[in-house]
Structure 1
Amino acid sequence: MTGRRDHYAHILEQARRLPRIRVCIVHPTDGHVLQAAAEAEAAGLITPILVGPRARIQTAATASGIDIASWRLVDTPHSHAAAEQSVIIAASGEADALMKGALHTDELLTAVLAKTAGLRTESRVSHAYVLDVPMYHKPLIVTDAAVNIAPSLDDKADICRNAINLWRSLFGDARKPKLAVLSAVETVMSAMPSTLDAAALCKMAERGQISGAIIDGPLAFDNIISRDAAADKGLVSDVAGDADIILVPNIETGNALAKELIYLGHAQAAGIGLGARVPIILTSRADSVHTRLLSCALAQYLTDARQKGLIK
């Protein structure tokens, strides 16, 4: 779609004006991971701290033509130790964020969520995609598409709070974001648990248990993103057709929705882990340079907002 506004261009431009953040790159034994760190460092977004087996990291750097001589490198024997040591560094205040390297997300989150690690908060850890979809009129957050498999009602409340904090970090508090709770229908049905959760989340927002957003649901996807579809069904909703955040019922739905928007809808996307004391940058081998930079930028915004007291 030619001539459309690149919503991410402004986000990335503003991120370059924020202070660099110190990021532990966890087990960066893959050239793609080191390349992502090098790109973000060159863009002025991060100061990398490499944590993992020294010899394997240096081999990967040499093979990829990346100069890591000026970067701090903390030697560990394997990926488990790299995750544990990275968490220690972040909990001590020596790092502002974590970035997943060549290890499974579960392995990293196990270290983050250890009771003695010092990075847990009262909130459940969740994942959010920030998407710039060509056919949608503003940035869109989809959550959770990568961490929580079948979240309970309490989990969903935390996922909402995390996403609201992310939105406020990016766009400030001039207005409340509109959060849509996704289901297959717009009516509450006992046979469809996602609709019951949606109704409960709306009531929780009414009673102040979830604050900082306008929440509505259950809503089917067409009514979330299309005012015309909502009007055709006679829906009266401040959120329908104008959502900033979509809360999905489970990981299958979230993962499919986000990837459909990326691969069929040509959306630009950046992912971030939320709910811990520091943001967790979750990049993949398939990510473009732009996506990698944007994921680091999200961590910058979150760090800056927390330091300013905008979010907890």
Structure 2
Amino acid sequence: MRLLSYLVNGEARYGAAVEGGVVDLSRRIGRYFPDLKALIAGDGLGRAKEVVAGETPDHALVELALLPPVLTPEKLWCIGVNYMDRNAEYKDNSDLPKYPSLFVRNMSSVVGAGQGIEKPAVSEQLDYEGELVIVIGKEGRHIPREAAWSHIFGMTLCNEGSVRDWLHHGKFNVTQGKNFDRSGSIGPWIVTSDECDPRGPHEIITRVNGEVRQQDTTARLMFPFDALIAYLSTFATLKPGDMIATGTPTGAGARFDPPRWLRPGDVVEVESPAIGVLRNAVVAEA
């Protein structure tokens, strides 16, 4: 299934994208599962499939203001330097990493598909990072790699927007440059694991104004999805609805000479064929 969250008359709702539009699940099973996170935690996928079967769509997809699929995950983890060749982009002659690089984003820093991502007024260095995101479906701690796949509910996409000059304000962290309000996006929906096997391989492509800037495959991840789940769950309990942005390929704007920063009016598309396209235009901070 393709499960998504959206606004109707200012109210957050969730549903299933089907041929011809969106079936509103909030109206049908919202008393049991108030939002998509509750449906994931409550093992409600089977019920959702039963409800959607044979239903006529309630909304046209193009008429909806989309939100990030999971509105209130407990954790939004982000992995850095995870594709082959990414370490070389730093030109610091360092060895390949032994452990994943890790930081956390707030949900206020991301918008849904089709919504404007903001270039902050204090910086000219807004950059794109196209990423695949795994969504946790089953709680776990100390999850072995061989069991990790059973903890994945599905996958979505992320433009892990970064404000590059603010990444260097702290000595040991990148938090500031990764958490500007509305600087990134997640969506357009979660494709469930029964329809999109996380084992892949999955291609990831990022385009800016139609020009391909990033293109790679999860076959070239240094830390595959199962390794990330095993590593993260060593120190933190993974909860249903948690999201893990699994890293971006080479080719971000900062790596060009001169750098190619995003400007208002630019359109960023992140695509993976088995999932779809996450598309956002860049707007100036209000």
Same fold (TM over 0.5): no
More helix by share: 1
TM-score by length of 1: 0.27
Q: Counting strand residues as a fraction of each chain, which structure ranks higher?
A: 2
Question: When the two structures are superposed, what TM-score results if normalisation uses the length of structure 2?
Answer: 0.29
**Which of 1 and 2 has greater Rg?**
1
